[in-house]
Structure 1
Amino acid sequence: MLKSPLLENWEFSQVSSEHSPDVHESWNPCSIPTSVHVELKRLGKIPDPYKDLNEWKVQWIQEADWVFKTQFDVDEAQVNQKHVDLLFEGLDTYCTITLNGKEIATTDNMFLSHRIDVKGMIKAKSNQLELHFKSPWHEASKAEAENGGPKPLWNGASNRLYSRKAQYGWGWDWGPVMMTVGPWKAINLETYDIRLDEIRIDDSLTGEAYDHAKLAASFTLSDTDAEAHQLEITLKDASGQTIRTVRDHPVSEKLRWDLGKDVKAWYPRGYGDQPLYDLEVQLKNSGGDVLDRITKRVAFRSAKVIQEPLEGQEGTSFVFEINGIRVFCGGSNWIPADSFLTEIEPGRYRAWVDLLIRGNQNMLRVWGGGVYEAEELYDACDENGILVWQDFMFGCGLYPSYPKLNESIKLEAEQAVRRLRDHPSVVIFAGNNEDYALAESIGVMDYKDNSGDYMNSKFPARHVYEVLLPEVVDRLSNIFYHRSSPYGGKDSSDQTVGDIHQWNVWHGTQEPWSNWDKLAGRFVSEFGMQGYPNIRTVKEWTDDKSQLFPQSRISVNHNKADGFERRLELYLMENFRHSFDIPSYIYYTQIMQSECLSAAYRLWRRSFKGRGREYTAGALVWQINDCWPCVSWAIADYYLRPKPTFFTIARELRTYTVGITRKDVKTHRDSSTSAFFEIKEEMELWACNSSVNPIDVEVVLETFNLNTSQREQKTFNAQLQPNASTEIWSGPVPSQPIRTDHSQIPEPIVIQARLYLSSAPDKVEARYSSWPEPYKYLTFPEPGLKITVKGDEVVLTCEKPVKGLVLDVKGGGDEAIWSDQALDLFPGDEQKVEAKGLGGRDVTFRYLGDGSA
């Protein structure tokens, strides 16, 4: 089999169309994969769409027709092989393909690859290949008009629902309107006599310790006449050592290997190793010549979603069990890493996964409004034990369902499942993002209708989510299928069954973040809070210094969330005294975001209380990343710069954590009075252990009165239960007087908990400081902060507690890579932060109450 990439010597131009009849063609060279925006920017014909208001200067691109063309040579030997195919890995989106002047195919699904037999059309030596891309806006509008007209949706324009194209390109509440056009994946010429068309691998682990492995594999060839062909199959470990091999295996016979303990189990990060193996398959003819070869990377693990009744609470669990271990999934949602997917350079996906690892995360949800992602992302998750929740590409809409569209969706789903099923990281397929929630919101979801006949109902896409997709997933894989995210119970917001998207902080009822525990679900697959990115990123979206303030036209254009001004200010005003200059606004929104989101992880992880009591089994923040420089819910910005919340979340996802809640308890003297009562401030202390073994710990609880500097200390010894939270103590906040009327102001007492492993009593394994909230009522004393720089190490001490310390390189020079941020300091508890690249330079800082903040 010969494979010839057709990536160079292309040229492109806008061409005349029904909507732009008077176009003057201008041909310019390019290489592929690419898109029109990328090439026009490279040529200087459009401004950078990510800067200023330039997004709106390039909207014409999506309404134009474009042609990409190339000439390529083919030698006589290739032309004379039995099969000559052109393989298009991805065309975005509405494309007519012509070869040597003859139309050979049309496409209308960005997510599909296309293998086209061109035997008899390809010529020795010179060939002309032309790709005519029609306007995605007009083609989607045409499909909408022909198949039912506009339908309800959240985000973008209604014609997107009729287009099998990345939905976020229509604009989202975090991304610009950038509807790309072009050959977004590779194109290859493949010539062969016969090839391996499909290899399906099914592995299993059995035994109490999940240490007995089996592997089954089946094979399909491009030609049905395969009797004279044999397979040589070899399983190798990462070092290349052969574990099992077989020669002359019949193609029509399923491979079945009982591997026993010859291979090791794959575990999520934090629970074990991630051994990966290569299954090499060679197709040979009767003479022993190798005709084709494929290497598939495999791993061995058992993955289940457990939905069982819970002890003491209604509903059922929604917990991922890997190799018998029920895992609390602390992670993030993933959107496409760029509006221009072909600009994501090699290594950038791995850089994002490295960030997940730094953040102690173990799950990534690939959201349904983007694309089935690049292999590099899934490979990196495989290698690092990051579980993947994979949506199908439907989001926030009442999608249509009709035969032509469904046929395309079925092919799309089959290709996606075949490609992703071998990744051990992929543990769930979900049918869509929030489509059931939208259907409920407009009154068209009838949960009593379980007929299976939905195409003519008010919610026609139920046919896709409940009939078409589960059939494909069940037929082609052993991966769990969930019909939507969120989904479960009496409706999609049921906190007792399935997963939920908890947007009643920020959206919805706009609850205070102290209510996260009341807002919990069995698995919270979305929640979030906005925060500004790093000042360096803010400066990337404009060169106009006069626009560097939060309410500027350009700043507002780089925040796509409806009503974001009101919502940011709601949470800021409720909690902080803040300023509006851009450095201060960045700081306050970042600290607000970090306080809000870390509280969610802290409170929900507390609800993972052990087998049968997995009341909350996952928290996936919206979102890890951005597709352009902007203000959003991301915890790291477009340039992979972590926001402070990234670090506070990372602390809540360590193997061992400690947490505190506090609340006022008001008790009236008796039922006859409203004037006579007592208010006591009560607190609760707990710790979490995500290891599979119990661990003995000591927890030191210390208080500091900001007014009087009075201190008090308690010590607790406890054994933390394995893979669960453990309650340690509850009682009144030390040194807090009982109040008898509302004019009495509570003492401003900071409570710090430090957790030490009994096996390492001199090292603080985890810490958490609980401050009186809201912070706007506090008068912060001068803390006596001392910062000592020793090369790339920053040593931090204080005389009085410090809240929300954020560090940076003084003078705004080259960035350092910080090991921690948004720190709370406590007297007598020295903390050290590594800052790679600091090189002994001075640091600058901000904290609540420091004068500048």
Structure 2
Amino acid sequence: MATHTERIVTGLRSDWTFKEKNSSDDWLETAQFPTNIHLDLIKHNKIPDPFFEKNELLVGWVAEKHWTYRTVFPSPANALKAGKTHILAFDGLDTYATVFLNGKEILKSDNMFISHRIDVSSHLSSDGGQNELLIHFEPALERAKQIRDAHPEHFWQCWNGDSARLAVRKAQYHFGWDWGGVYITCGPWRDIRLEEYSARLSDLVASTALTDDNKQATVTVKAHVDSPTDAGIAKAAKVILSLVSDSDVAVESTATIEAEGFSTAIFTIDSPDLWWPHGYGEQKLYTVTAKLVGPDGNVVDTISKRTGIRRAEVVQEKDKHGKSFYFRINGVDIYCGGSDWIPADNFTPRVTEEKYRHWLELMVHGNQTMIRVWGGGIFEEDVFYDLCDELGILVWQDFLFGCGNYPAFPEILESVKIESRQNVIRLRHHPSIVIYAGNNEDYQLQESYGLTYDYEDKNPDNWLKTDFPARYIYEKILPEIVAEDGNGVFYHPGSPWGDGKKTSDKTVGDMHQWNVWHGTQEKYQIFEHLGGRFNSEFGMEGFPHIQTIDSFLSPGSSERYQQSSTVDFHNKADGHERRIATYLVENFRTVEDFEGFIHLSQLVQSEALAYGYRGWRRQWGDSRRCGGALVWQLDDCWPGISWAIVDYYLRKKPAYYTIARALRSLGVGIQREHWDWSVTHARPLPKTKWETWITSSKLQAMKVKLEVRFISIATGKDVATPLVAESIDVVANGTTDKVFTGEIDNVSTEPHVLSATLWVDGKVVARDVDWPQPLKYHSFGGRGLKVKFDLPDRAPEGKKRDAQGKITITVEKPLKGLVWEERTGVRVSDSAIDVVPGEEVVVDVFGLLKGEQELSWRFLGM
């Protein structure tokens, strides 16, 4: 009987070089591996920093060239020995790639999102000999245009980028979007390795069923054995399957190899450790392991995955508002406040694990429960989903189609099937993933151009004959793949989408609400009235930190002002000048200095998102009228001006903190009814109604104290007796609505703020301040602001970032939008704060020591 040795994996990450194909140039060392062409050219100063000034215009030629990558690696010992298989595994090639090993073509690839495993056993050199691996990359846009031009029968239409992008399976944002430049990359963007084995474990999946009372779980673990050179191993080998919890409770089973190479074990767990979203419980995980033991008793291969036990549902039930759309985890309804996510860089290979962690920890610190991986980017790296599992962040994953009428030629359909199945299988063990959506806004584009969509026609063959053939992808291919391999995750045909109704229908499914900023450019003060059952996109632009803008300007640049050509170049949104100006001039007194303008644009963003999050969170308690709100967008892929609430360098905009306050587990809201001052020509209403409410995501009812004050903007004095409720019963996981209501006499009462403060056990847990709109009608000078820093003398050993101090703030008159000028290495617990007299606001500050430069600040009217 043959001896079976353990699978050997050799990463091919070193000695890579590159050059322009067919040129006489020398081979140059790559910047890193994995990599792409722009990173490598930057390393050798062949192109300037693509993000600096207008250098995007100077690097476009890179995408027009053919590029070649090369490495040399030795053959394993006994490389040609019978019974051994040698595989070259390519996790991702971007995009049109031809691969040669020792001069022989072994692979052609035309899909960035597909991985490949090529048997090279007969192509390797003899024992210890050197092997040359070459990869040629063709220009993606050129190839895409050829496909588009060859199919004039298709209606090639998209929003953002060249319409040829629809023909190529490549990250669509590479072709340019309304928040990022045109950087069409190529290269080996994910790992390449050599594997040697006689048999291996090719897959491992754990499927979980949880009883309604959460007291017992059944975990079905299935492993697949691949033995291409020795079919006999399947008859004599065995697989040891084990399940180990974070608390080191282990169960193990030995299984035989069944038909077609599968081994299965079923584990029943009493009182299982459950995985919860953060804020609702712990993120308990289990390690699932399979060991393949050969006939001779040797361990041939081992594979492990981390997974979690949880039950995830999307609740869609008819109710008084239409049909609900919200998430339920382990039987608990979860309000999904969060963000949309784009790739964190135009050149994704340089996004490190540390940077992913920083981004996703922002979600937790900001009380955000869900992140939506947008369909114009990529299926993210494994570490992204690992971190979401660890941190308790729910993931909404789009399939990779965005803002276009995609073709459905047979070769594209086949490629999409492979791409989608591979990635669903790759991701299916993650408890954080709770929904797949078929695309981003493709149904909206279908509506906009009047393309054929007969929801009542359920014959998929008919869909392929229409001018909207991609319906076949979204409503046949993808749901079948998710049903077969998605491990029970819910599938949604698109985002937005709702049972075939108009994508703007507020009664069903999810919606993208862009009539603030885009569309009809409504006042942001009415955001709460514009939402649907789940608001998966909405937003407002805001400038990034001044340091981020300075990063793409030359020192002393004459372009350092808000309307400069270079600053405009870094804002890709159509009509951004007039849209920013509209919302600024409607709401604030304009300023000329650059830093002041940045602050105002950030306040506009902060205020707009406050009205959205605050109002929609309130609706959670109204028969789950709104199941969640995801802001467009959390992050940026370059130093630009966009809707991001945190910029490319992880510098938080004020809106980040505004959202965090709106999503606290226990929050308070106060708001007067909207009055459209521009329609009434600044004539005030004689009387204005106002209301307060309390929001809670806590799973137990509790008692709180609430105080409402009425404070003059001009004098800081109370203009009416405060209202106090010493003991309010707050409902669990919902809204305690209209705790106080009232009416303001706008004729006899001077302009004043409404201030609501919430206490639990004598401690302030939430505040909200409502200001008469618009803010431009009020003066904010002489606020009597006092700021006191209380900082530690030294940091914990080696942990300066954890050194914690505090900032105490008091005012004599109501103050709007106090924003700290954060800097690298220093962070605060709150910013963009409204402060009223008679209260002391304390903010935690981290990474700042006594004697160091204190943080500066800015507030409205400063």
Scaled by the length of structure 2, the TM-score of the pair is: 0.92
Q: What is aligned with 2:600? A: 588
* 1:103-162: CA deviation from partner (whole Å, max 9, x where unpaired): 111000000110001111111211111101011111111122223466110000011000
- Given candidates 298, 307, 313, the residue that maps to 2:316 is 307
Q: What is aligned with 1:800? A: 813
CA contact (8 A) 2:534 2:626 kept: yes
What is the CA–CA distance in structure 2 between the aligned matches of 1:361 and 1:74, rounded to whole Å? 49
Indicate how the Cα distance of structure 1 residues 664 and 242 shifts in structure 2: closer, same or farther if over 3 A, else same: closer
- CA shift for structure 1 position 34: 0.7
- CA shift for structure 1 position 304: 0.7
Q: What is aligned with 2:861? A: 849
Q: What is aligned with 1:669? A: none
* 1:456-488: CA deviation from partner (whole Å, max 9, x where unpaired): 211010011011111111011211000000001
SS of 2:708 mapped into structure 1:
strand
Indicate how the Cα distance of structure 1 residues 366 and 678 shifts in structure 2: closer, same or farther if over 3 A, else same: closer
What is the CA–CA distance in structure 2 between the aligned matches of 1:663 and 1:269, rounded to whole Å? 34
Are 2:705 and 1:698 aligned? yes
* 1:44-72: CA deviation from partner (whole Å, max 9, x where unpaired): 11100000010010001111100001111
What is the CA–CA distance in structure 2 between the aligned matches of 1:709 and 1:5, rounded to whole Å? 67
Are 2:547 and 1:543 aligned? no
State the number of aligned residues. 816
Question: 1:64-143 residue pairs with structure 2 within 5 A?
Answer: 64-80=65-81, 81-124=83-126, 125-143=129-147
* 1:4-28: CA deviation from partner (whole Å, max 9, x where unpaired): 1111111111124xxxxxx543421
Are 2:368 and 1:355 aligned? no
What is the CA–CA distance in structure 1 between the aligned matches of 2:401 and 2:27, rounded to whole Å? 36
* 1:307-358: CA deviation from partner (whole Å, max 9, x where unpaired): 0012x32x10001111111110000000000000111123111111111111
* 1:414-434: CA deviation from partner (whole Å, max 9, x where unpaired): 111001111000000100000
Are 2:254 and 1:247 aligned? yes
What is the CA–CA distance in structure 1 between the aligned matches of 2:716 and 2:130, rounded to whole Å? 85
What is the CA–CA distance in structure 2 between the aligned matches of 1:102 and 1:309, rounded to whole Å? 61
- CA shift for structure 1 position 738: 5.5
Q: What is aligned with 1:154? A: 159
Indicate how the Cα distance of structure 1 residues 308 and 133 shifts in structure 2: closer, same or farther if over 3 A, else same: same
SS of 2:92 mapped into structure 1:
coil
What is the CA–CA distance in structure 1 between the aligned matches of 2:258 and 2:590, rounded to whole Å? 70
Question: 1:486-497 residue pairs with structure 2 within 5 A?
Answer: 486-489=496-499, 490-497=501-508
- Given candidates 180, 197, 201, the residue that maps to 2:202 is 197
Are 2:621 and 1:609 aligned? yes
SS of 1:764 mapped into structure 2:
strand
AA aligned opposite 1:823: I
What is the CA–CA distance in structure 2 between the aligned matches of 1:445 and 1:494, rounded to whole Å? 19
* 1:504-526: CA deviation from partner (whole Å, max 9, x where unpaired): 00001101111112101100000
Q: What is aligned with 2:21? A: 15
CA-based RMSD of the aligned residues comes to: 1.8
* 1:759-817: CA deviation from partner (whole Å, max 9, x where unpaired): x12x10110011111000012252211101111321101111111011226xxx75521
- CA shift for structure 1 position 248: 4.8
Are 2:342 and 1:335 aligned? yes
CA contact (8 A) 2:208 2:309 kept: yes
Single out whichever of 521-530 and 5-14 deviates more from structure 2. 5-14
What is the CA–CA distance in structure 2 between the aligned matches of 1:631 and 1:541, rounded to whole Å? 12
What is the CA–CA distance in structure 1 between the aligned matches of 2:79 and 2:281, rounded to whole Å? 48
What is the CA–CA distance in structure 1 between the aligned matches of 2:771 and 2:376, rounded to whole Å? 39
What is the CA–CA distance in structure 1 between the aligned matches of 2:624 and 2:65, rounded to whole Å? 53
* 1:587-624: CA deviation from partner (whole Å, max 9, x where unpaired): 000111111112111000000016xx000010000000
Q: What is aligned with 1:505? A: 516
Indicate how the Cα distance of structure 1 residues 798 and 607 shifts in structure 2: closer, same or farther if over 3 A, else same: same
Question: 1:47-58 residue pairs with structure 2 within 5 A?
Answer: 47-58=48-59
Indicate how the Cα distance of structure 1 residues 511 and 75 shifts in structure 2: closer, same or farther if over 3 A, else same: same
CA contact (8 A) 2:218 2:269 kept: yes
SS of 2:20 mapped into structure 1:
strand
Scaled by the length of structure 1, the TM-score of the pair is: 0.93
AA aligned opposite 1:805: L
SS of 1:843 mapped into structure 2:
coil
What is the CA–CA distance in structure 1 between the aligned matches of 2:520 and 2:548, rounded to whole Å? 31
Q: What is aligned with 2:783? A: 783
What is the CA–CA distance in structure 2 between the aligned matches of 1:126 and 1:259, rounded to whole Å? 51
Are 2:8 and 1:2 aligned? yes
Q: What is aligned with 2:277? A: 268
CA contact (8 A) 1:144 1:150 kept: no
CA contact (8 A) 2:614 2:662 kept: yes
Q: What is aligned with 1:391? A: 398
* 1:557-596: CA deviation from partner (whole Å, max 9, x where unpaired): 1000000000000000000002132101110001111111
CA contact (8 A) 1:318 1:497 kept: yes
CA contact (8 A) 2:86 2:194 kept: yes
CA contact (8 A) 1:171 1:177 kept: yes
SS of 2:292 mapped into structure 1:
strand
Indicate how the Cα distance of structure 1 residues 842 and 298 shifts in structure 2: closer, same or farther if over 3 A, else same: closer
- CA shift for structure 1 position 730: 4.6
Are 2:752 and 1:749 aligned? yes
- CA shift for structure 1 position 218: 2.2
Q: What is aligned with 2:799? A: none
CA contact (8 A) 2:716 2:812 kept: no
CA contact (8 A) 1:214 1:256 kept: no
CA contact (8 A) 1:84 1:190 kept: yes
Q: What is aligned with 1:767? A: 767
What is the CA–CA distance in structure 2 between the aligned matches of 1:514 and 1:308, rounded to whole Å? 30
SS of 2:78 mapped into structure 1:
helix
CA contact (8 A) 1:184 1:342 kept: yes
- Given candidates 460, 465, 472, the residue that maps to 1:452 is 460
CA contact (8 A) 2:223 2:290 kept: no
What is the CA–CA distance in structure 1 between the aligned matches of 2:75 and 2:24, rounded to whole Å? 32
CA contact (8 A) 2:79 2:121 kept: no
What is the CA–CA distance in structure 2 between the aligned matches of 1:377 and 1:536, rounded to whole Å? 27
- CA shift for structure 1 position 729: 3.0
Question: 1:289-304 residue pairs with structure 2 within 5 A?
Answer: 289-304=298-313
AA aligned opposite 1:727: D
What is the CA–CA distance in structure 2 between the aligned matches of 1:621 and 1:832, rounded to whole Å? 27
What is the CA–CA distance in structure 1 between the aligned matches of 2:547 and 2:65, rounded to whole Å? 35
What is the CA–CA distance in structure 2 between the aligned matches of 1:553 and 1:285, rounded to whole Å? 67
CA contact (8 A) 1:202 1:216 kept: yes
Single out whichever of 691-700 and 248-257 deviates more from structure 2. 248-257
Indicate how the Cα distance of structure 1 residues 842 and 665 shifts in structure 2: closer, same or farther if over 3 A, else same: closer
- CA shift for structure 1 position 362: 0.7
- CA shift for structure 1 position 249: 4.0
Q: What is aligned with 2:635? A: 625
SS of 1:227 mapped into structure 2:
helix
CA contact (8 A) 2:716 2:814 kept: no
Structure 1: gaps (5+ residues): 17-22, 667-675
Indicate how the Cα distance of structure 1 residues 278 and 442 shifts in structure 2: closer, same or farther if over 3 A, else same: same
AA aligned opposite 1:518: H
What is the CA–CA distance in structure 2 between the aligned matches of 1:561 and 1:614, rounded to whole Å? 33
CA contact (8 A) 1:150 1:158 kept: no
CA contact (8 A) 1:645 1:822 kept: yes
CA contact (8 A) 2:527 2:611 kept: yes
AA aligned opposite 1:606: R
What is the CA–CA distance in structure 2 between the aligned matches of 1:438 and 1:423, rounded to whole Å? 32
Indicate how the Cα distance of structure 1 residues 53 and 837 shifts in structure 2: closer, same or farther if over 3 A, else same: same
- CA shift for structure 1 position 223: 3.1
Identical aligned residues as a percent: 42
Indicate how the Cα distance of structure 1 residues 715 and 730 shifts in structure 2: closer, same or farther if over 3 A, else same: closer
CA contact (8 A) 1:664 1:679 kept: no
What is the CA–CA distance in structure 2 between the aligned matches of 1:301 and 1:427, rounded to whole Å? 10
* 1:543-569: CA deviation from partner (whole Å, max 9, x where unpaired): 142111111111011000000000000
Q: What is aligned with 1:680? A: 687
Q: What is aligned with 1:576? A: 588
SS of 1:517 mapped into structure 2:
helix
